[in-house]
């Protein structure tokens, strides 16, 4: 039996254990993580002291005294947050980066074990929603330029331990061409960003010729907050509900939509989620709280009480019988679609790796200011003289629109919304 299969079985066993048994599991894994972090991660050597008694036992009553870990901490002290002795059993360490919900480019590390656990939760997600992984999945997400481009996209065999076919297309493909590609591919399932799903459903719903050509068995949303409007548009156009999840590059899956009720189940086997009010104490049930996450298995770069800068509302136990805590609403970040002449609508997805290749900024934001003009706002992370603006402009034009005018603006800071949120992409067209 592979390690992935073992984790899949473990998750199935844990699904309906008592809430007390689930908490005991979290405490056991959390204590191991805390001891590892204190011993091998410079950032935590003194930070976790309030939690340990003189005899080195853990005083869980003082958990709230551990300071919140912020994205700024990851930006300022990435080396100090890396473990000096990752257990060999956790496998290879890899690095990833994300722009996060504040616009800063954040780098984190994870192990093969973490990725295996995330794959097991993916299998749970598919199982819950009756998704048959022997059939054909169409994935429209961020892809490296040249690997899943229109008109053919990319094709591979096998997903989620099964032998189904996966066809992929870059999400920056204009919406009308995405619809044409889907009509040719005739997939059983569709996976894409929430905003993109809503735009696709709206376009296809207004194009009668496409309607009968999409007999989808299921739709999955990823990477963004799924609005009620997008849910309704997908159900109206495709005739099937959307299965949603809450995840991040840093922490993986944090909550999965219940297959039976309109709530989300925390993935408590893999992480501890807290919802805090402005005083950093647990928010009351039914009130909006800041999401603070502690992944239980990331020994390469422990993220202990890591603030997501997203918000959620906790609810009562779900009637489905699954015992993981419930979120009734998640208020995460959102993206804007860009609109080009001729009714062309595009989901922008300029990959962070390309910003790092050409410009290496500390922060970035892309704003569409006219039908064929965008502004790229940058907080420099390098000497501006070393930034390859021409190369980045060529990449953006190839990715989004050949006639696009691209203006780069170096700024001291990128403002956030009154609610403290950053948008990677802003469409400022009326």
d(CA 149, CA 340): 19
Distances (CA, A) of 374 to 110, 186, 229, 273: 35, 34, 27, 38
Nearest residue to 373 via CA among 400, 413, 334: 400
Cβ contact 363:393 at 8 Å: no
Copy the structure tokens of residue 30: 């959390």
Cα–chain-centroid distance for residue 172? 18
d(CA 250, CA 116): 15
Q: Domains along the chain?
A: 3-120+246-331 (3.40.50.12780), 338-427 (3.30.300)
d(CA 322, CA 244): 17
pLDDT in tens, the chain (430 residues): 789 999 999 999 999 999 999 999 999 999 999 999 999 999 999 999 999 999 999 999 999 999 999 989 999 999 999 999 999 999 999 998 775 444 567 889 999 999 999 999 999 999 999 999 999 999 999 887 788 999 999 999 988 778 899 999 998 899 999 999 999 999 999 999 888 999 899 889 888 777 666 789 999 998 778 888 889 999 999 999 999 999 988 999 999 999 999 999 999 999 999 999 989 999 999 988 999 999 999 999 999 999 998 889 999 999 999 999 999 998 765 557 899 998 888 888 887 778 888 998 988 899 999 999 999 999 998 788 889 999 999 999 999 999 999 999 999 988 765 445 567 888 999 8
Cβ contact 246:330 at 8 Å: yes
d(CA 187, CA 167): 8
Copy the structure tokens of residue 5: 């299969």
d(CA 36, CA 412): 38
pLDDT in tens, 104-157: 678 899 999 999 999 999 999 999 999 999 999 999 998 877 889 999 999 999
Whole-model pTM?
A: 0.83
Cβ contact 66:305 at 8 Å: yes
């Amino acid at each position: 039996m592979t390690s992935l299969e073992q984790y899949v079985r473990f998750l199935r066993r844990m699904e309906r254990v008592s809430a007390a048994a689930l908490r005991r599991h979290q405490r056991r894994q959390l204590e191991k993580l805390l001891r590892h972090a204190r011993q091998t991660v410079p950032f935590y050597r003194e930070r976790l002291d309030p939690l340990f008694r003189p005899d080195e036992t853990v005083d869980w009553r003082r958990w709230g005294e551990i300071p919140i870990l912020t994205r700024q901490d990851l930006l300022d002290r990435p080396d100090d947050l890396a473990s000096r002795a990752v257990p060999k059993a956790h496998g290879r360490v890899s690095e990833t980066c994300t722009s996060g919900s504040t616009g800063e480019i954040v780098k984190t590390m994870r192990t093969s074990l973490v990725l295996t656990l995330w794959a097991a939760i993916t299998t749970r997600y598919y199982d819950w929603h009756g998704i048959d992984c022997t059939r054909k999945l169409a994935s429209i997400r961020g892809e490296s330029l040249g690997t899943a481009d229109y008109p053919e996209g990319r094709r591979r065999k096998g997903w989620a331990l099964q032998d189904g076919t996966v066809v992929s297309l870059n999400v920056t493909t204009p919406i009308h061409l995405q619809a044409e590609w889907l009509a040719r591919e005739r997939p059983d399932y569709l996976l894409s960003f929430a905003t993109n799903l809503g735009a696709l459903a709206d376009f296809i719903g207004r194009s009668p010729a496409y309607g009968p050509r999409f007999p989808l068995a299921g739709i999955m949303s990823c990477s963004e907050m799924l609005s009620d409007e997008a849910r309704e548009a997908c159900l109206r156009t495709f005739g099937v509900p959307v299965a949603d999840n809450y995840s991040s590059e840093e922490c993986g899956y944090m909550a999965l939509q219940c297959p039976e009720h309109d709530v989300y189940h925390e993935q408590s086997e893999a992480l501890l989620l807290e919802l805090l009010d402005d005083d950093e104490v647990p928010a009351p049930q039914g009130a909006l709280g800041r999401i603070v996450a502690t992944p239980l298995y990331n020994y390469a770069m422990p993220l202990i009480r890591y603030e997501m800068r997203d918000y959620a509302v906790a609810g009562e136990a779900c009637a489905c019988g699954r015992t993981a805590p419930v979120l009734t609403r998640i208020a995460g970040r959102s993206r804007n679609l860009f609109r080009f002449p001729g009714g062309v609508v595009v989901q922008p997805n300029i990959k962070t790796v390309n910003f790092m290749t050409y410009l290496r900024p500390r922060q970035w934001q892309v704003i569409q200011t006219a039908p064929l003009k965008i502004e790229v706002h940058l907080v420099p992370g390098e000497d501006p003289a070393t930034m390859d603006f021409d190369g980045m402009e060529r990449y953006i034009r190839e990715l989004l629109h050949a006639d696009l005018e691209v203006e780069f603006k170096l700024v001291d800071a990128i403002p956030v919304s009154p609610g403290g949120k950053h948008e990677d992409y802003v469409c400022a067209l009326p």
